[in-house]
Amino acid sequence: MLLFAGLGNPDPKHANNRHNVGFKLIDALNKNFGLSKQKPKFKGLLTNGQVQDNKVIVVKPLTFMNNSGMCIREITDYHRIKTNNIFVFHDDMDIEIGKIKTKNGGSSGGHNGIKSIDDSIGTDYNRIRIGIGHPGDKELVDKHVLNDFTEEEKIIIDQVIKKIFKNINLLIEKKLDDFTSKSNQ
């Protein structure tokens, strides 16, 4: 069994924020793969079904970004999901908008949602980092991540999501370098 988690903030005012790109991806994934209707469970909105012949649980934590690990921990404990079968989709300011980087393990890089997950389950899970670009000034970071995507950025992010779906088999097979390379073409 695999767990796909998208990070974001559940308040409707954050729905189109850059910080919610993980939620945006999960909503598109549910629709694209015809997964079950979202239902609240384990401090998140869960769906389940099949993606590329693999049983998956898909979640948007409802704990707000900084406490995402609580939700992930409850799901992994209940379903006994190995950490290397967890795929977390999240925003990354240090990556150009529209680019993707993947890795297993590593540091949080200052991302509070990732830090919460690291603290809850360790670091041996797969991270799909979706670039949202940097505002150029450290003082503007909070405003940048909590502001909505521009219309041009929305188009770029929609294209990124399509590329992720096109190459999801590589992600599931944990061929992270191949997935990254093909998704950035």
Catalogue the active-site residues: 19
3-state secondary structure of 39: strand
Write the burial class of residue 34 (CB in 10 Å: 0-12 exposed, 13-18 middle, 19+ buried). Answer: exposed
Residue listed under structure tokens 């694209």? 32
Torsion of CA 63, 3, 17, 62, to 10 degrees: -20
Q: How far is CA 121 from the centre of its chain?
A: 16
Are the C-beta atoms of 21 and 148 separated by less than 8 Å? no
